[in-house]
Amino acid sequence: MIFPWTLSQWQQLVQRVNEQRLPHAMLFGGIEGLGKLDIARQFAQSLLCQQPDDNFMPCSQCRSCAQFEANTHPDFHLIEPEEEGKGIKVDQIRGLTEQFGLAAHYASYRVAIISPAESMNLAAANSLLKSLEEPPENTLIILVSSHSASLPSTILSRCQRVNFDSPSADMAVNWLNKHHTGLFDGEIGGSERAVLAMANGAPLKAVKSVDSELIKQREQMFSLFLAVAEGAESPLGADKQWLKTGITTPIQWVYSWISDLIKLKVNLREALVNLDKSADLQKLAQQVELGSLYRFLDNILDILKKQRAPLNTQMIMDDLLLDWKTLTASVEHTHYR
């Protein structure tokens, strides 16, 4: 499925095919929930299809399409972690390399998708590097990643990147209302924009995030974020029971709030993600320095890059909130809300 916000990326891919300048390796990068894997699979099926249409969409009728849709196509390989929460193993990449060493079953491409690419361990990444350095003919490897900065530079330098960006809030809300009618009714009161903000503006992640408990946790985190800023709450003394569900999502929320503060500082209000928090963020933006926000954002990025390593979640969040308290300590405190 081609989503409205991925149309330009699809057109880029089709243009490369038409101009016969398709690389051997590509990296589909962007935040989680934009449909990168969906587009990668769609593109793979089109490459393998025996009679794609004028828009390079697969026919869904030929033998190749039938095999692809049944997950039995001999020239297509999807490499994912064998267990949820685990990494991609070196043996999986070695198996892919062996398959690439065999003759193709059809005359078209052989395609492999590795997703999420950042879940490869070092041995797996090194094994993949050999295929990237000496790619077989008519072979395409698509890496799909939401955290491409954590990939080895040797991998990144050998892939042509296709960037996926979040759609505008209006486009995302229109799509959600059209394709997921009624999803936001009931407990969360039709708050599409609040759920979108919680998903960093990614519509597909928003669909998965329709969870009243998760929304409650975001509200608790934002209240703490503001309370620490105004000196009404200690970063160390706050109750953080919601961290038991993991630290990645709360840190991504903080990242999006800091990003919105930066946008407000540079007069990019139309690009805000957390529209439901815009009033509080606007007040806070008037009291923090732009340079300090950029440095704090760098700290958050460092944490996100290390998120696959074992972390003491309580300590990480305490340190993050202590840094936030230091950043806001010199400002004139205003009571929010």
Q: Quick one: pLDDT at residue 195?
A: 78
206: pLDDT confidence band, cut at 50, 70 and 90? confident
For residue 328, what is the enclosing H or E element? Answer: helix 313-328
Domains and CATH numbers, the chain: 4-163 (3.40.50.300), 211-328 (1.20.272)
Q: Amino acid letter at 226?
A: L
Stronger pLDDT, 127 or 177, i.e. the higher one: 127
End-to-end CA separation in angstroms for the chain: 42
Residue 303 burial (CB count, 10 A): 18
337: pLDDT confidence band, cut at 50, 70 and 90? low
185: pLDDT confidence band, cut at 50, 70 and 90? low
Q: Quick one: pLDDT at residue 187?
A: 41
Q: Quick one: pLDDT at residue 49?
A: 95
pTM: 0.74
Phi-psi region of 60 (alpha: psi -120 to 50; beta: other; left: phi over 0): left
| Tens-place pLDDT, residues 4-43 | 999 999 999 999 999 999 999 999 999 999 999 999 999 9
CA distance 221 to 234: 13
Pairing of strands 110-114, 139-145: parallel
Angle, alpha carbons 10-13-14 (nearest 5°):
90
258: pLDDT confidence band, cut at 50, 70 and 90? very high
CA distance 170 to 178: 12
Stronger pLDDT, 202 or 104, i.e. the higher one: 202
* Res 79 pLDDT > 80: yes
